[in-house]
Amino acid sequence: MSVKIGIGFGGWPFPHKDPGLLWEYVDACEELDIDSLWLSDRIVSEAMNVEPMIALSFIAARTQKLKFGTSVLALPLRNPTVLAKEVATLDFLSGGRSLPAVGLGTEEEREYEACGTRRSQRVGRTEEAIEIMRLLWSQDSVTYHGRYYTLNDVSVHPKPVQKELPPVWIGGRTEAALRRTARVGDGWLVSQATPDEVSDGVSKIKSWAVEYGNDIEDDHYGALFSFSIADSHEEARRQAEPYMLRRRTDVDYEAFSAFGSADDVAELIDRYIEGGATKFVARPACPPERMMEQLELLGRDVVPRYHG
């Protein structure tokens, strides 16, 4: 199994609203052998947050080897036929570098309302959408009559170039999310989960996947974690503090973050690997003016230990 380390962020993490800063960052990712770049998905947002499919198309055009994905795409907010076309086009134009990871979306009803749907429908819409996208990617004439979507003799071209289609990874750490991954997912990408929780989740997904007749590859388990590299643990945590995601209240975020030296980051990655994860999205938790510095430290001092 190959261990790969990508980088991701939410919102606009740079000090100025200058697209050139993103392009400089993308160029550095390519030069530093970062495996992939991941963008979050927030359609309704007070903060600046680029639309990921559009941004990823620009990133694809600028790079030759960097893969790119969504962490995660709010699937029930989007029409699956349009999205299937977008992902397939992106995969075709990039030579097979598209990595769509999907989820249910946020808890905010207004975002679903603004996109013409309801939060109460998000599970059903997500599962139908995954099925529809795979059919459109693999068949030339799709007829599908579901609860939420209807297709009659529909085709989309170009098809994705990835031999096994773009693998659809599913996010979430609830039991329902684990079962959904086991039933319809190609992989699991979880955020804000401790190494022990990842180990437990991988074990459950593997067991349930057998029951559902779903074959998930052993190296299709991933974790998103925050990191801050500095001269000391205290300095790194102080730097990260204002930029940490705060969705969990039951666990100190240090349990699924790495603060300190490159060795500290590698130690957390190694613990995730012991739990069964091999794909990683590292999220810099730092002031905007230090985003490039953190990327360079990750690429120089951590990534070479795993990419070989």
Q: Average the pLDDT over each of 16-20, 42-46, 167-171 and give the range with the smallest value.
A: 42-46
Measured between alpha carbons, how far is 208 from 181 in angstroms, rounded to an integer?
9
By the 8 A CB rule, do 117 and 77 touch? yes
pLDDT for residue 63: 98
Mean pLDDT of 28-38: 98
Q: What is the pTM of this model?
A: 0.95
Give the residue extent of every domain in the chain: 4-215+299-307
Measured between alpha carbons, how far is 92 from 165 in angstroms, rounded to an integer?
11
Say whether pLDDT at 49 is over 90: yes
pLDDT for residue 133: 98
One-letter amino acid at 26 equals V
Structure tokens given for 148: 């939420």
pLDDT for residue 95: 97
Tell me the per-residue pLDDT of 65-94, one tens digit each, with 9 for 90 and over. 999 999 999 999 999 999 999 999 999 999
Question: What percentage of residues in the chain have a pLDDT greater than 70?
Answer: 100
pLDDT for residue 245: 80
pLDDT for residue 23: 97
pLDDT for residue 248: 84
Pick the CATH number of 4-215+299-307 from 3.40.50.150, 3.20.20.30, 3.40.710.10, 1.10.1240.10: 3.20.20.30
pLDDT for residue 46: 87
pLDDT for residue 246: 74
Res. 163 pLDDT band, cuts 50 70 90: confident
- Between the two ends of the chain, the Cα-to-Cα distance in Å is 13
pLDDT for residue 249: 86
Tell me the per-residue pLDDT of 93-149, one tens digit each, with 9 for 90 and over. 999 999 999 999 989 999 999 999 999 999 999 999 999 999 999 999 999 999 999
Mean pLDDT of 205-222: 97
**Comparing 216 with 164, which gets the higher pLDDT?**
216
Q: What mean pLDDT value characterizes the chain?
A: 96
Residue whose structure tokens are 């170039």 = 161
Residue 248's contacts (CB-CB under 8 Å, 6 or more residues apart) are: 192
